[in-house]
């Protein structure tokens, strides 16, 4: 009999890796329980060794969290979910489309270092114009070209890369969120794709929760000062305005 699933995640405002499997399961209707460990918290220190073999999140537990079977690292979690729920459409059914989807995911997992480090996911904040170095813009140009070509070949007449929402789209939810936070110039078709990602039910739910979080994690905030501290912004207190629509991404992902 299938064992209940628990996904261990980090802060919803910041943890881009956590967002991906959470959104994939939520969007495709795979039941699971969420266990959040906030970064730099007592809860994290008390439980991370038991709940994560790598001291990183996300981790997928089958059965008792900390006592059942653990799959860690986002790509492995996606593959384990596909093994457990082969009929949910985690990957496209066509073989070549599936290979392309896995290529996009692997390519992102191991690439785009400038984009990932200069634009950490920060759903509740807006930093338009920040982080847009030539290296970052080259990453964005390359990634949005892949999106355009993939949608033209496999996703035509659909808002997603391969027709139905798949693991590949889940991988790019944090990217769409980063683009909403930092507002780099984007081609029109990339804007359309990001809008569709940010409008998914899963992303809306995650973002709503993220905006209620108040923890300030300095390593994910290169463009803001801790509350009450003056420095990067020149203002003692910064409270980000509510986002116009939605979005996400961070901790290097
Ligand atoms: N390659 C891993 C990366 C996981 C990762 O770096 N997670 C970050 C949060 S998004 C983390 O757990 N950081 C722990 C910490 O910063 O203390 C994956 O794909 O899941």
pLDDT at position 248, please?
35
Query: What one-character-per-residue DSSP string does the chain give?
Result: -PPPEEEEE--TTT-HHHHHHHHHHHHHT---EEEE--TTSHHHHHHHHHH-TTS-S-EEEESSTTTSEEEESHHHHHHHHHHH-TTS-SS-SSHHHHHHHHHHHHHHHH--HHHHHHS---TT---TTTT--HHHHHHHHHHHHHHHHHHHHH-TTSSBTTBS--HHHHHHHHHHHHHHHH-----HHHHHHHHHHHTSHHHHHHHHHHHH-----GGG-TT-PPTT--SSSSSS---PPPPSS-----TT-
In a domain, 136, yes or no: no
In a domain, 15, yes or no: yes
CA of 119 to the centre of ligand 1 (A): 16
125-152 pLDDT per residue, tens: 999 999 999 999 999 999 999 999 999 9
10 lines ligand 1 (CB under 6 A): yes
116 lines ligand 1 (CB under 6 A): no
pLDDT at position 249, please?
34
Angle at 19 between CA 46 and CA 87, to 5 degrees: 115
Please tell me the total count of domains within the chain.
1
CA distances from 187 to 98, 137, 143, 159, 168 (A): 25, 12, 11, 15, 20
Q: What whole-number distance in Å separates Cα of residue 157 and Cα of residue 159?
A: 7
57 lines ligand 1 (CB under 6 A): yes
Closest protein CA for atom 20 of ligand 1? 73
In a domain, 24, yes or no: yes
Asked if residues 202 and 32 have their Cβ atoms less than 8 Å apart, the reply is no
91-126 pLDDT per residue, tens: 999 999 999 999 999 999 999 999 999 999 999 999
In a domain, 209, yes or no: no
CATH number for the domain spanning 43: value is 3.40.30.10
Q: What whole-number distance in Å separates Cα of residue 165 and Cα of residue 155?
A: 10
Q: Percentage of the chain surpassing pLDDT 70?
A: 92
In a domain, 108, yes or no: no
In a domain, 78, yes or no: yes
CA of 143 to the centre of ligand 1 (A): 22
Query: 């996911």: which residue's tokens?
Result: 121
56 lines ligand 1 (CB under 6 A): yes
Closest ligand 1 atom, CA of 44? 17
253 lines ligand 1 (CB under 6 A): yes
In a domain, 39, yes or no: yes
198-238 pLDDT per residue, tens: 999 999 999 999 999 999 999 999 999 998 777 776 554 33
CA of 97 to the centre of ligand 1 (A): 28
Q: Percentage of the chain surpassing pLDDT 90?
A: 87
174-201 pLDDT per residue, tens: 999 999 999 999 999 999 999 999 999 9
39 lines ligand 1 (CB under 6 A): yes
11 lines ligand 1 (CB under 6 A): no
Which phi and psi angles does 103 have, rounded to 5°?
-65, -45
Give the residue numbers spanning the domain of 28: 5-84
15 lines ligand 1 (CB under 6 A): yes
In a domain, 154, yes or no: no
């Amino acid at each position: 009999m299938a064992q209940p699933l628990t996904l261990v995640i980090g802060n919803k405002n910041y943890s881009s890796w956590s967002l991906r499997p959470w959104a994939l399961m939520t969007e495709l209707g795979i039941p699971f329980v969420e266990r959040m460990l906030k970064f730099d918290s007592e809860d994290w220190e008390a439980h991370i060794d038991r709940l994560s073999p790598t001291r990183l999140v996300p981790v997928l537990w089958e059965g008792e969290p900390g006592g059942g079977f653990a799959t860690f690292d986002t790509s492995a979690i996606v593959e384990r979910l596909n093994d457990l729920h082969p009929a949910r459409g985690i990957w496209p059914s066509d073989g070549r489309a599936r290979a392309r989807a896995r290529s996009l995911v692997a390519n992102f997992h191991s690439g785009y270092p400038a984009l990932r480090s200069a634009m950490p996911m920060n759903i509740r904040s807006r930093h338009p114009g920040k982080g847009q170095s030539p290296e970052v813009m080259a990453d964005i140009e390359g990634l949005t070209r892949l999106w355009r070509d993939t949608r033209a070949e496999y996703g035509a007449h659909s808002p997603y890369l391969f027709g139905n929402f798949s693991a590949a789209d889940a991988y790019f939810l944090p990217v769409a969120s980063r683009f909403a936070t930092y507002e780099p110039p984007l081609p029109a078709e990339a804007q359309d794709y990001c809008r569709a990602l940010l409008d998914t039910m899963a992303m809306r739910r995650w973002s709503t929760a993220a905006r209620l979080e108040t923890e300030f994690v300095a390593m994910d905030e290169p463009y803001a000062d801790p509350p009450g501290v003056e420095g990067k912004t020149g203002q003692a207190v910064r409270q980000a305005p509510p986002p116009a629509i939605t979005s996400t991404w961070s901790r290097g992902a």
